[in-house]
Amino acid sequence: MIRKMASKVDNKLARNADSKMNSKLAYKAPITLAITGASGAPYALRLLDCLVHAGHQVYVMVSKAAHIVIATETEHKLPAQAAQLEQALTDLYQAGEGQIKVFGKEDWMAPVASGSGAASQMVVCPCSTGSLSAIATGASNNLIERAADVALKERRKLILVPRETPYSAIHLEHMLTLTRMGVVVMPASPGFYHEPKSVDDLVDFMVARLLDHLGVEQNLVERWGQSRMDGKTE
């Protein structure tokens, strides 16, 4: 009887280990995406879409201001609560179970809050000048700021996509400080040389550059010199 019970427990443990293993193996390495309240919400949502379809697990954080910007700039009215937001984004991008994990502003138990649990790459897209300042000064007053601080202290890849115009000396100094620490500052400034036909083309230009920096394969936009290499032009 005791043996039977023990084997039941063993089987359960094995099943749990298997399902944990499968869910870990099912997705490529997690990437943290923090969405803050600068203009440019379409970049963030397209980036999330691409990361999910490239098979990555994505740790998502959305600031309060970002929710307002998303509602202003896109057709989406996303729920504020982390659990509902996670479900809404999972449905929106047809992500797998557990592929998108959303963490709240003060969820200090989230993996991104510590060097031992954080993803090896983090993007803040778009990055408000407020969040830029907090990251440059190590404020860590909310989970987005803390996650960026963790990325800095652990010397992990951190990419910021600020959007403001013009920039003040404060913004530029913060960007310089962070660049000197190894952060990749990629202002949301799409090029026009690929002859965009739509806003989506402009969004894809930025997202393609971001995916390149994250090492995620993409073919959203033709690469510079590609048509010449393919023998399409002289």
Ligand X SMILES: Cc1cc2nc3c(=O)[nH]c(=O)nc-3n(C[C@H](O)[C@H](O)[C@H](O)COP(=O)(O)O)c2cc1C
Q: What does the binding site for ligand X look like in residue numbers (CB under 6 A)? A: 36-39, 63, 65-66, 68-69, 72, 128-131, 163-164
CB of residue 148 to ligand X, shortest distance in Å: 11
Joined tokens for residue 231: 């023998």
CB of residue 105 to ligand X, shortest distance in Å: 9
User: Which residue, 188 or 216, is less far from ligand X as judged by CB?
Assistant: 188
Asked if 46 and 62 touch (Cβ cutoff 8 Å), the reply is: no
CB of residue 12 to ligand X, shortest distance in Å: 43
User: Which residue, 154 or 164, is less far from ligand X as judged by CB?
Assistant: 164
16-20: which pairs have CB atoms within 8 A and are 24 or more residues apart?
Answer: none
CB of residue 170 to ligand X, shortest distance in Å: 11
Cα distance from N-terminal residue to C-terminal residue, the chain: 81
User: Which residue, 99 or 128, is less far from ligand X as judged by CB?
Assistant: 128
CB of residue 3 to ligand X, shortest distance in Å: 57
Distance from C-alpha of 176 to C-alpha of 135, rounded to nearest angstrom: 12
User: Which residue, 37 or 42, is less far from ligand X as judged by CB?
Assistant: 37
Asked if 85 and 93 touch (Cβ cutoff 8 Å), the reply is: no
User: Which residue, 36 or 99, is less far from ligand X as judged by CB?
Assistant: 36
Distance from C-alpha of 162 to C-alpha of 135, rounded to nearest angstrom: 12
User: Nearest residue by C-beta to ligand X?
Assistant: 37
How many H-runs (helices) and E-runs (strands) does the chain carry? 9, 6
CB of residue 37 to ligand X, shortest distance in Å: 3
Place of tokens 């083309």: 201
User: Which residue, 41 or 208, is less far from ligand X as judged by CB?
Assistant: 41
Distance from C-alpha of 185 to C-alpha of 182, rounded to nearest angstrom: 9
Peptide bond between residue 126 and the one before it cis (omega within 30 degrees of 0): yes
Exposed/middle/buried for residue 104 (C-beta within 10 Å: 0-12, 13-18, 19+): middle
